[in-house]
Amino acid sequence: MTADDLLTPPEAERGRPPKARDTATAWLESVLRRGPTKKKVLDEMADTNGITMATLRRAGDTLGIIKSKDGKESVWALP
């Protein structure tokens, strides 16, 4: 065992605290229940609500969102 092994937090504790991910996941689900939304709009709304882009992406992964294109713009929707 190395010093790095002792000082590195367990994998479950790395990254953003689970509470932030949980909050972002609930928020994203509530927004997408209204229908598919352009990613650019989601980014702006998330920023206004204090959700980082990385946390928004993780929330999308948790929900298994469907990513599609509307012209050149990305659109997110619930499965």
List the chain domain ranges.
Answer: 17-77
Residue 68 has pLDDT above 70, yes or no: yes
For 39-58, write each residue's pLDDT tens digit.
Answer: 999 999 999 999 999 999 99
pLDDT at 20: 87
**pLDDT greater at residue 10 or residue 27:** 27
| Residue range 17-77, CATH number | 1.10.10
Distance (Å, rounded) from C-alpha 20 to C-alpha 2? 31
pLDDT at 19: 87
Which pair of tokens denotes residue 70?
A: 């509307």
Buried b (16+ CB within 10 A) or exposed e, 48-61: eeebeeebbebbbe
Residue 11 has pLDDT above 60, yes or no: no
Residue 37 β-bridge partners: 76
